[in-house]
Structures are given as structure tokens and as C-alpha cells.
Amino acid sequence: MTKADIVNYILEKKKVNASKKDVSNIVSRVFEIISEELINGEDNHKIQISGFGTFIVKKRAPKIGRNPRTKEEKLIPERFGISFKVGKKLYRELNGN
């Protein structure tokens, strides 16, 4: 599902009285806010969306990577990644409980 799919879903299924441009701007802004909070947030770089899940920024340790073709080893420096922990409500719905 893309941002455009989300905008179209909101316009078609939810019968919103707003222009496509306005809905698109709102959806884009929501993703911008999530990104900004993950990058600069004060809450341990964590965003919790009730009933959906939690996005968490985690520091990845440096490691040695290997080129499968040449078998050359290379140090991959420490970096940050994002993990997602599914919320209980969504987990139950996915698993039919």
C-alpha cells in the first residue's frame, strides 16, 4: 500500500469532505511527523500508536560483512535501524484470536 493508496482509501471509503490535495497533505504530514520523531524525538526515539504498534530506533553494533562473490571481508560500522513491535490488538486480529 502506498501513500496514494491511503489517500484514495480515505476519500472513497470514509466519505471525507475534503479535497484530494488536502487529504494527501495530511497523510504526508503524518509520515513526516513520525519520521521527525524517530530522528529527533525525546522519548527514546520511540513512537507508540495505540492498537497498532511501536516503532523503535535501535543502535546496531558494528560487524564484519563478507562479499559473497569475492569473499572479501569488510567492517560495517555501527548504525541505527528501526524495529517495529506489533500491538496486542493488531496481533490478535492477524492471528484470529
Whole-number Å distance between alpha carbons of 58 and 34: 16
* Comparison of pLDDT for 24 and 96, the residue scoring more: 24
Q: Tell me the pLDDT tens digit for each residue of 27-39.
A: 999 999 999 999 8
What burial class does residue 53 get, using C-beta atoms within 10 Å of its C-beta: 0-12 exposed, 13-18 middle, 19+ buried?
middle
pLDDT beyond 90 at 41: no
Average pLDDT over residues 58-79: 94
**Whether the Cβ atoms of residue 62 and residue 76 lie closer than 8 Å to each other:** yes
Question: What is the rounded distance in angstroms from the CA atom of residue 77 to the CA atom of residue 47?
Answer: 25
Q: Which CATH number fits domain 42-97: 3.40.50.300, 3.90.190.20, 2.60.120.10, 4.10.520.10?
A: 4.10.520.10
